[in-house]
Amino acid sequence: MKIILFLVNTHKDKYQLFVKAGRKLGIEVQIHTYQEISIYFQEQNPSQPLLKIAGQNLTDFSLIYLRTLIKSPELQMLISQSCKENNIPIMDPVFSYQEPFIDGKAFTYFKLVKHGLPIIDTLMIINQNKTQIEQLKFPLIAKASSGSQGRDVYLCQNKEELTTIVNKYSQPLLIEPFIKNDGDIRLTIIGDRFIAAIKRTSQKDEFRNNTSLGGKAVAYQPSKTEIKIAIQATQVMNYVIAGVDLIYDQSLKKWLIMEVNRAPQFTTLAPISGIDIPLEIIKYFKELIRKNIK
């Protein structure tokens, strides 16, 4: 029996839809937390530590999906290298590299712009270096590189508001021009294939379009250009699953990438699109397992 392992931080119950999807497709899906991992280092086998999850050997699993991440580059590297040595596919391929995975917007922008993809012009500002604030134009957006679901994102109308935000954070902040919009779009990509999209609009007195903050979402049919950008962004980040957020800049007359989310939520997308996202993900993983065994 082939087994897919989902590794998560907490709240295993949230992922039961994936377990049900596996049953429909005749494959077992197990959900475990990082706290259930044990690693044994043995003198007789120094190059390959024995990694166990809830008492099961790593080799009992056919594919590993790091659905959420633990803030331990060391553990991340041990898991990814163990998978590589045992020829077990690990999701996403970015984890197979000989370097820690950096989950942050700044690093995402660095990779996207390096490959010529359209992003919002962004300045990274450090708390101790506030001289750059004097040269900025307002209104603008300030956000933490590690933020998600619209958290740690601020609309600043003047220098005083931005200075207050900068003083709140010890980590660097990303500064972007505020783009007037009637909403943004989220495209879901699985295995280089466009699955579904929604358009999100903010509620009154809120500049963020996130549905987690009360924004409204409707089904959306993206153009070939929008789909191409989303697929290219997913490939550049070396992901197989991604939620790519785009916004249209009227002044530039082009779509810009706001974010590439490695583990997008689907609670809004699935009912609006009518597509069973967990089923599509497990279907893709099952095919990867089949190809890896050949």
Instruction: Please tell me the distance from the alpha carbon of residue 261 to that of residue 274, in angstroms, as a whole number.
Output: 21
pLDDT at 236: 95
SS (H, E, C) 188-249: EEECCEEEEEEEEECCCCCCCCCHHHCCEEEECCCCHHHHHHHHHHHHHCCCCEEEEEEEEE
Instruction: Please tell me the distance from the alpha carbon of residue 175 to that of residue 260, in angstroms, as a whole number.
Output: 17
Instruction: Please tell me the distance from the alpha carbon of residue 213 to that of residue 208, in angstroms, as a whole number.
Output: 7
The confidence band for 127, taking pLDDT boundaries of 50, 70 and 90, is low
The answer to whether 243 touches 188, Cβ cutoff 8 Å, is yes
pLDDT at 294: 44
Instruction: Please tell me the distance from the alpha carbon of residue 77 to that of residue 73, in angstroms, as a whole number.
Output: 6
User: Tens digit of pLDDT for each residue in 64-113?
Assistant: 999 998 888 889 888 998 998 889 999 988 888 766 778 888 999 999 99
* Average of per-residue pLDDT across 207-223: 77
pLDDT at 201: 87
User: Tens digit of pLDDT for each residue in 230-261?
Assistant: 999 999 999 999 999 999 999 999 999 999 99
pLDDT at 148: 66
The answer to whether 176 touches 109, Cβ cutoff 8 Å, is no
* Average of per-residue pLDDT across 18-32: 97
3-8/63-66 β-pairing: parallel
The answer to whether 121 touches 79, Cβ cutoff 8 Å, is no
User: Which of 1-10, 82-91, 110-119, 136-145 has maximum average pLDDT?
Assistant: 110-119
User: Tens digit of pLDDT for each residue in 151-200?
Assistant: 788 999 998 898 888 888 888 889 999 998 888 999 999 999 999 999 99
pLDDT at 259: 93
Return the amino acid letter for 252.
L
pTM: 0.90
pLDDT at 196: 96
Give residues with Cβ within 8 angstroms of 132, minimum separation 6: 123, 125
**What domains lie within the chain, and their CATH numbers?**
3-102+285-293 (3.40.50), 121-177 (3.30.1490.20), 184-261 (3.30.470.20)
